Amino acid sequence: MFIRNAWYVAATSQELADKPLARTLLGEKVVLFRGTDGAPTALEDRCCHRLAPLSLGDVEAGGIRCRYHGMKFDTRGQCIEIPGQDSIAPGMCVRAFQVVERHGFCWIWMGRPDLANADDIVDVHWNRAPEWPTASGYIHYKANYQLIADNLLDFSHLTFVHRTTLANAALVDARPEITAFDRGIRLNRLIVACDPSPLHGMAGKFTGKVDFWTRQVWWLPSIFENWAGSVPTGGTGEAHERAGGLHLRHFSLLTPETAQSTHYFWVQPCQFPHNEPGMIEKVGKGIDTAFAEDRWMIEAQQVVMNDSPDVKPKAIRADAALGRVRFMIDRLLEQERAASPA
């Protein structure tokens, strides 16, 4: 059901603490914690003894202790202590997942261990980097991650869903240039001499027409990178390379929770063409508002789909990008199925 051979965000660095964090990821219950040495660990959240959740337990040096009968597991999931018992049967263990902490996130790999390569983690180094004031957030979504992906891949909805925030009248007719590559697709748009959207106008303090660009990447299966910006119209050179521009480096990082729910992490590192204080907070608020509008629509859509499982959507021209990504995801799922032992 989910692509497993991929790095997903399991938690933010701030969420990882010495108290265990219980989280369902790709349909599996996982306990996450930062060990006494500071390193993150992710284990199956189910003691192998009588199936109590380890996330009710306590982090100790070298591992976690189940709160029910006191069995202790190390960071590889091996049971290393059973109170009142000297020997431990070799099968006494829980599954451990590879985790990497990078750029403010704890990334998890839940697929075939031999395929995990930390170099494949999507680069989000702008997150809270110097010179990049960053807004961020987390949304728990009652919808399948692909409905959210559809939304992010078709900006024609901005005019209708986001009237007061992201709407840009010119967007409806500005079809992006779409290019596939081995890890997903790229979508580039440039709209010259348009009125800025409410958000760009506010964040950039633009008084006239702007050239507006989005340079987006959909990283399979479920990370959306959107370098969007505006710059006063009329200069020379590529809009996104001219001075005086507003730069919004957005990442939407989707991690399936279940078939019907999604962990939605987002970060928005910005560079402003001015020094007005408090602007990053205003941008964060704008994103919050816009994403609440999306959620209102997408969760309602999920309810309708559940009620009519046999009804197929009918495509329009604006679905080009989302159709391609859905096709790519289906192909990856197919490959994983074919490669997995029966």
Q: Whose Cβ is closer to a second copy: residue 271's or residue 301's?
A: 301
Residues in binding contact with a second copy, number by CB under 8 A: 51
Residue 136's φ and ψ, nearest 5 degrees, are -155, 165
Contacts to a second copy from residues 270-299, by CB under 8 A:
296-297
Report the first-to-last Cα separation within the chain, whole angstroms: 15
Whole-angstrom distance, CA of residue 231 vs CA of residue 286? 19
Could you tell me the smallest distance in angstroms from the CB atom of residue 5 to a second copy? 22
| CA-to-CA dists, residue 72 to 1, 29, 58, angstroms | 32, 18, 9
Could you tell me the smallest distance in angstroms from the CB atom of residue 321 to a second copy? 13
Element (H, E) at 300: helix 279-307
Which positions from 52 to 91 touch a second copy by CB under 8 A, shown as an x/- string? xx--x--------xxxxxxx----------xxxx---x-x
Strands across the sheet containing 79-81: 58-60, 63-65, 72-74, 79-81
Q: Whose Cβ is closer to a second copy: residue 85's or residue 207's?
A: 85
**Contact by Cβ (8 Å): 210, 188:** no
* Interaction between residue 172 and a second copy (CB under 8 A): yes
* Interaction between residue 301 and a second copy (CB under 8 A): yes
* Interaction between residue 314 and a second copy (CB under 8 A): yes
| Secondary structure of residue 48 in the 3-state scheme | coil
* Interaction between residue 100 and a second copy (CB under 8 A): no
Binding site for a second copy (CB under 8 A): 29, 45-46, 48-53, 56, 65-71, 82-85, 89, 91-92, 150, 154, 156-157, 159-161, 172-173, 175, 296-297, 300-301, 303-305, 307-308, 311, 313-319
